[in-house]
A and B are shown apart, each in its own frame.
Chain A
Amino acid sequence: MDRRILPAIILLILFFIGLLPLSTLLFSPLLKGGSWGIYMEAFTTRNSLNLLGRSIVLSTSVSLLAGAVGTPLGLLLSRTDLPARRLFAAIFTIPLLIPPYANAIAWFDILHKAGLSGILFGFPGVVFVLTFSFYPIVMLLSMAHSRAIESHLEEAALLHAPWFTVIGKITLPLMKFSILLGMALVFLLSMGEIGVPTFLRYPVYPVEILSHFSAFYDFHRAAASSIPLLLIALLLMIPLAGGMDSTPITMKGTSLRIPIEGKWRSILLTIIATGAFLVLLPYAALLHSMGTGNPGEVLQIAGDSLLRSIALAGTGATIITALGSIMGYVIARRFPMSGWIQAIVLLLFALPGAVMGVGIIGLWNRPITEWFYASPLIILMGYVARYIVLGVVASTAGIAMIPSSLEEAATLHGAGTARILTGILMPLTGRFLIAGWFLSFVFCFRDFDTTFLLQPAGWDTLPVLLFTYMANGEPRTVAGIAGIMALSSLTVAAAGLITTGFLRQWRT
Chain B
Amino acid sequence: MRQAFLLIAAFLLSCSRGEKEENVVVVYVSEDRVFSEPILKDFERETGIKVKAIYDTEESKSTGLMNRLIAEKEHPRADVYWANEPIRAEVLKQKGLLQPYISPNAGGIPEQFRDPEGYWTGFSARARVLIVNRSVEEKPHSIMDYVNPKWKGRAVIANPLFGTTTVHMAVLFTLWGNEKAKDFLNRMKENQVKISSSNGESADLVASGQFDFALVDNDDAISRMRRGEPVEMVFPDQGEGEMGVLLLPNAVMLIKGAPHPENGRKLVDYLLSKETERKLAFADCAQIPLHSGVDMPPELEDISRLKTVEVNYGEVARKLEEIQPILRKWVGY
Contact of A468 with B52 in the complex, beta carbons under 8 Å: no
Return chain B residues, CB-CB under 8 Å to A471: 32-34, 56-58
> Does A375 interact with chain B (Cβ within 8 Å)?
yes
> Does B239 interact with chain A (Cβ within 8 Å)?
no
Q: How many residues of chain A get a CB closer than 8 Å to chain B's CBs?
A: 54
A48→B8 CA distance, assembly (Å)? 44
Return chain B residues, CB-CB under 8 Å to A303: none
A449→B11 CA distance, assembly (Å)? 23
A214→B332 CA distance, assembly (Å)? 18
- Set B18, B70, B77: member contacting A217, Cβ < 8 A: B70
Contact of A211 with B71 in the complex, beta carbons under 8 Å: no
Contact of A374 with B18 in the complex, beta carbons under 8 Å: yes
**Which of B60-68, B117-125, B270-278 makes up part of the contact surface?**
B60-68
Contact of B33 with A469 in the complex, beta carbons under 8 Å: yes
> Does A16 interact with chain B (Cβ within 8 Å)?
no
Contact of B75 with A315 in the complex, beta carbons under 8 Å: no
Q: Smallest CB-CB separation from A374: which chain B residue?
A: B18
> Contact string, A202-232, partner B, CB cutoff 8 A, digits 1/0?
0100010011011111010000000000000
> Does B285 interact with chain A (Cβ within 8 Å)?
yes
Contact of B57 with A211 in the complex, beta carbons under 8 Å: no
State whether A365 and B91 are in contact (beta carbons under 8 Å apart), knowing that A453-B67, A471-B33, A472-B200 are contacts in the complex.
no
Q: Smallest CB-CB separation from A361: which chain B residue?
A: B71
Contact of B67 with A217 in the complex, beta carbons under 8 Å: yes
Q: Smallest CB-CB separation from B69: which chain A residue?
A: A217
Contact of A213 with B55 in the complex, beta carbons under 8 Å: no
**Which of A75-83, A193-201, A277-285 makes up part of the contact surface?**
A193-201
Q: Smallest CB-CB separation from A473: which chain B residue?
A: B34
Contact of B67 with A219 in the complex, beta carbons under 8 Å: yes
Contact of B195 with A315 in the complex, beta carbons under 8 Å: no
Contact of B60 with A361 in the complex, beta carbons under 8 Å: no
Return chain B residues, CB-CB under 8 Å to A373: 77
- Set A375, A455, A473: member contacting B33, Cβ < 8 A: A473
Q: How far is the CB of A185 from chain B (nearest CB, A)?
A: 23
Contact of A377 with B12 in the complex, beta carbons under 8 Å: yes
A106→B214 CA distance, assembly (Å)? 25
A211→B320 CA distance, assembly (Å)? 12
A452→B62 CA distance, assembly (Å)? 9
Q: How far is the CB of A56 from chain B (nearest CB, A)?
A: 16
> Contact string, A441-484, partner B, CB cutoff 8 A, digits 1/0?
00000001100110111101000000111111110000000000
- Set B15, B26, B67, B166: member contacting A358, Cβ < 8 A: B67
- Interface of chain B residues 45 through 83 with chain A (CB within 8 A): 52-64, 66-68, 70-72, 74-75, 77-78
A358→B166 CA distance, assembly (Å)? 24
**Band of interface residues on B:** 35 or more
Q: How far is the CB of B91 from chain A (nearest CB, A)?
A: 7
> Contact string, B1-19, partner A, CB cutoff 8 A, digits 1/0?
0001100100110011111
Q: Which of B4, B11, B195 has the most CB of A within 10 A?
A: B11
A214→B195 CA distance, assembly (Å)? 19
> Does A362 interact with chain B (Cβ within 8 Å)?
yes
Return chain A residues, CB-CB under 8 Å to B328: 47, 211
> Does B321 interact with chain A (Cβ within 8 Å)?
yes
Contact of A203 with B333 in the complex, beta carbons under 8 Å: yes
> Does B223 interact with chain A (Cβ within 8 Å)?
yes
Return chain B residues, CB-CB under 8 Å to A210: 63
Return chain A residues, CB-CB under 8 Å to B56: 468, 471
> Does A101 interact with chain B (Cβ within 8 Å)?
yes
Return chain A residues, CB-CB under 8 Å to B33: 468-469, 471, 473
> Does A371 interact with chain B (Cβ within 8 Å)?
yes
Q: How far is the CB of B320 from chain A (nearest CB, A)?
A: 7
> Contact string, B78-114, partner A, CB cutoff 8 A, digits 1/0?
1000000000000100010000000000000000000
Known pairs A47-B328, A217-B95, A375-B17 / 15 extra A-B pairs, C-beta < 8 Å: A198-B60, A207-B333, A214-B59, A215-B321, A215-B324, A216-B321, A217-B66, A219-B71, A354-B63, A361-B72, A362-B71, A370-B18, A372-B16, A375-B16, A457-B26
Q: Can you report 22 residue pairs joining A to B where beta carbons are below 8 Å apart? A: A198-B61, A210-B63, A211-B161, A214-B64, A215-B161, A215-B320, A311-B11, A314-B8, A354-B67, A361-B71, A375-B18, A376-B15, A380-B15, A449-B62, A449-B63, A456-B77, A457-B26, A458-B52, A469-B34, A472-B35, A473-B32, A473-B33
Give residues in B with beta carbon < 8 Å to A. 4-5, 8, 11-12, 15-19, 26-27, 32-35, 52-64, 66-68, 70-72, 74-75, 77-78, 91, 95, 159, 161-162, 166, 195, 197, 200, 219, 223, 284-285, 320-321, 324, 328, 331-333
Which 5 residue pairs spanning A and B have beta carbons closest together? A457-B52, A213-B63, A361-B71, A468-B55, A203-B333
